[in-house]
Amino acid sequence: MNDHPEGIAAARTDTGRRVVRAACPHDCPDTCAMQVTVEDGVAVKVEGAKDHPFTQGTLCNKVSRYLERTYSGDRLLHPQKRIGAKGEGRFTRISWDEALDTIAARFREISASGDGPGAILPYDYAGTMGLVQWKSMGKRLFHRLGASLLERGICSSAGKEGIRLTLGASVGMDPERFEDAKLILIWGTNPIVSNLHQWTRVQEAKRRGARIVAIDPYRSLSAEKCTDHIAPLPGTDAALALAMMHVIIGENRHDRDYVARHTLGFDQLAGRVKEYPPERVAKITGVPAERIVGLARDYASARPAAIRLSYGMQRYAGGASAVRTITCLPALTGAWREPAGGILLSTGGWLDMNTAALERPDLLQASPNPRPRCINMSAIGDALLEAKPPVRALYVYNSNPVTVAPDSRRVIAGFSREDLFCVVHDIFQTDTADYADILLPATTQLEQWDIHTGYGHLYVLANNPAIAPLGEALPNSEVFRRIAARMGFDEPCFRDSDEDICRQAIDSKNPRMQGMDWEQLKQTGFKRVNVPQLFAPFAEGGFPTPSGQCEFFSATAQKTGLDPLPTWVPPRESVQSAPDLARRYPLAMISPPARNFLNSSFANLAFAIDSEGKPKLDIHPDDAAARGIEEGNLVRIFNARGEFEAAARVSERARPGVVVALSVWWKKLSPDGRNANEVTSQALTDMGGGATFYDCLVEVARL
């Protein structure tokens, strides 16, 4: 057993001053290269690496304050067990041995019971995106146990499915080329907040004369600074894209040569877009027809034209269809011909690591439950209350579901079950931690090894531990090793060190990974995958789809009973789909990221809370006036699922019919003990099993 992960022992005896190469672990497309200065074993400075071509020496507001997170007085430092009621948050200190013996005993008892190991469920997301601390030892342990599988649909799975249908994989243009574009569509993303280093590139393009158009129902910080802002109603982007294609094809502005050589199903697409003339789509989107026509013409004529798509528009019933549809645009106009043309949702597919070696799904075969059920994390409330056989043990790490999962009443009812054995491993005592039976202290990124890939750039990064763990905190990998040992699992992979795992991650046959070497990566901090500097991935076609073409028509979709062509699926909660509901709850609520929070991470730190102030609701002056709401009034936001409170901010930032609750606030740190997820829904997307946080009708009243 590996009691002290390699390197941490060395850090403990560290004297003098040194600079350590690190990687930002957070769920953000920028995955920054960091440098940590350590003096006598204490981290004294965290900065962006100047030599990293995407980070370029700057960190965001949050991570530049990473030392405040690491050395926060609120850190969990010892294992604890619950002594109060579930949710109350009262605990008493115990030893690691007692904590781990308790967990192993419960796992053994449940596995041997009639319910079997499928009654155990891991719950994890991207609190750290590291392959060691997220995607290896935990997966191995739960596979070997035969626990239920978790479908990780809370964020991006709908969009990934959409882009896979059209392009074949989660791949796109090189983010480092955006400055050479002449037109950039910032579509469903607020890069100043959620993709800062991409924004730097977009600003550079603007300085060189490019037009930047935001497509967002909200005048976000980024939309405010674009050349143009088009504000469609939430969840109508696919209709907008279909109308753009209607204009482009109707006016013969498509690239016939590119379409003929590198796409599949043009004639069928041309038939489909006839159903979406701009006049009809103006009614669906709330965007005037002439603006749609103008956008289509501009997009078809600008060279190079880039689209930065992000996950905002896929948090709806039709999320996958929206991404699938928008992704047809650059093939239709031949934008892929240039390195600065095309579309980018995620670069993740260019950086595929050796997942089988990391996660070891083969270990399921050694378990008593080789074909476990799969539970979608976005519907954890329903799963905890209704699944049969029941979920009897839940192991939460890298995630804070009581705060971030939709439909809080159901989530909290599930977590409150007396018969549920709940382990939470976190850096802080989150809302979720308050429901734990066993609460374990986690290390921060400065205290652990890891290896990272970006999803908004093309680099692999190393994270060296800078300091020794605080208190008795342990990395995820080490806790899983110790549980595996207690369960008697003797496969050698449970003895792999963290650095062994880093080596396994890049041990890949993928030609883009050739030449990746862990010893070198540790020293230099990062390396770009093997693709040309001027990377135009689909200039000559070669899409990773079954046909090798960009698939307007998808036989894959057809085989599974889905529409083989791009289409608009209206929001589940909209006038089109649910007119009665829309009369009772006439406002569409979206709850995108607040600038100083990262999901619920940082939302407990004084500097972040001070910057955000208090929970707010952006509401248009017309909608406010109709309800007698004035600037600063405390309002109640409610629907049949629940309610929460916020201070009204009356302005045209929110378009009429839409209210915006920037998120995600910790419940226990909010004045009313609630947050926006009281009203969001557990329903899933059309494809990909994604969450539908923004497909959410509400009413608002002054308190």
Ligand X SMILES: Nc1nc2c(c(=O)[nH]1)N[C@H]1C(S)=C(S)[C@@H](COP(=O)(O)OP(=O)(O)OC[C@H]3O[C@@H](n4cnc5c(=O)[nH]c(N)nc54)[C@H](O)[C@@H]3O)O[C@H]1N2
Helix (H) or strand (E) holding 12: helix 8-12
594 in contact with Mo ion (CB under 5 A): no
Residue 146 binds which of ligand X, Mo ion, none (CB < 5-8 A, kind-dependent): none
234 binds, among ligand X, Mo ion, none (CB under 5 to 8 A by kind): ligand X
Joined together, the tokens standing for residue 660 give 């915006």
CB closer to ligand X, 369 vs 600: 600
Give the x/- contact pattern for ligand X in 117-136, rule: CB under 6 A. --------xxxx----x---
Residue 568's binding partner among Mo ion, ligand X, none (Cβ under 5 to 8 angstroms by kind) is: none
Q: Judged by CB under 6 A, does residue 639 bind ligand X?
A: no
Give the one entry of ligand X, Mo ion, none that residue 642 binds, where binding means its C-beta sits below a cut-off of 5 to 8 angstroms depending on kind: none
Q: Is 157 in the site for ligand X (CB under 6 A)?
A: no
287 binds, among Mo ion, ligand X, none (CB under 5 to 8 A by kind): none
In order, the DSSP letters of 64-116 are GGHHHHHT-TT---S-EEE-S-TTT--EEE--HHHHHHHHHHHHHHHHHSTT-
Of 445 and 508, which has the nearer Cβ to ligand X?
Answer: 445
Q: Judged by CB under 6 A, does residue 591 bind ligand X?
A: yes
Quick one: which of 163, 193, 380, 423 contacts ligand X (CB under 6 A)? 193
How many angstroms separate the CA atoms of 606 and 603, rounded? 8
Number of residues that bind Mo ion (CB under 5 A): 1
CB of 362 to ligand X, least distance (A): 25
Which residue in the set 397, 480, 526, 552 belongs to the binding site for ligand X (CB under 6 A)?
Answer: 397
- Pick one of 52, 135, 246, 425: the residue that binds ligand X (CB under 6 A): 425
**595 lines the binding site for ligand X (CB under 6 A):** yes
Cα 671–chain centre separation: 27
Of 138 and 153, the one with the shorter C-beta distance to Mo ion is 153
- Least Å distance between CB 191 and ligand X? 7
Examine residue 400 and tell whether it contacts ligand X (CB under 6 A).
yes
Distance CA 623, CA 699 (A): 10
With 0-12 / 13-18 / 19 or more C-beta atoms within 10 angstroms meaning exposed / middle / buried, residue 373 is: middle
Q: CA-to-CA distance for 648 and 646, rounded, in angstroms?
A: 6
Q: Which of 235, 167, 29 is nearest to 685 (CA)?
A: 235
Residue 155 touches Mo ion, criterion: CB under 5 A: yes
Taking CA atoms, 461 is separated from 68, 434, 453, in Å, by 23, 34, 6
Measured in degrees and rounded to the nearest 5, phi and psi for residue 137 equal -60, -40
State the angle between helix axes of 498-505 and 476-486 in degrees (0 to 180), rounded to the nearest 10: 110
90/690 Cα distance (integer angstroms): 34
Cα 535–Cα 540–Cα 541 angle in degrees, nearest 5 = 100
Closest residue by Cα to residue 624 from 547, 701, 567: 701
> Is residue 499 within 8 Å of 505, Cβ to Cβ?
no
> With contacts defined by CB under 6 A, how many residues of the chain interact with ligand X?
58
189 binds, among ligand X, Mo ion, none (CB under 5 to 8 A by kind): ligand X
Residue placing its CB nearer to ligand X in the complex, 58 or 547: 58
| Omega of the bond leading into 389 within 30 degrees of 0 (cis) | yes
- Find the part of the chain contacting ligand X (CB under 6 A) among 74-82, 92-100, 209-217, 494-502: 209-217
CA angle 237, 217, 402 (to 5 degrees): 95
Between 346 and 504, name the residue whose CB sits nearer to Mo ion: 346
Stretch that binds ligand X, among 5-13, 480-488, 558-566, 674-682 (CB under 6 A): 674-682
Binding mask 441-470 for ligand X (x = CB under 6 A): -x----------------------------
Nearer to ligand X, 557 or 658 (CB): 658
CA atoms of 68 and 73, how far apart (whole Å): 9
Rounded CA-CA distance 161/319 in Å is 9
Q: Where do we find the tokens 């990062």? A: 526
- In whole angstroms, the minimum distance from the beta carbon of 602 to ligand X comes to 8
Q: Which residues bind Mo ion (CB under 5 A)?
A: 155
Q: Which residues bind ligand X (CB under 6 A)?
A: 27-28, 125-128, 133, 154-156, 187-190, 193-194, 215-218, 220, 234-235, 237, 310-313, 397-400, 403-404, 425-428, 430, 442, 476, 590-593, 595, 597-601, 663-664, 676-677, 680, 693-694
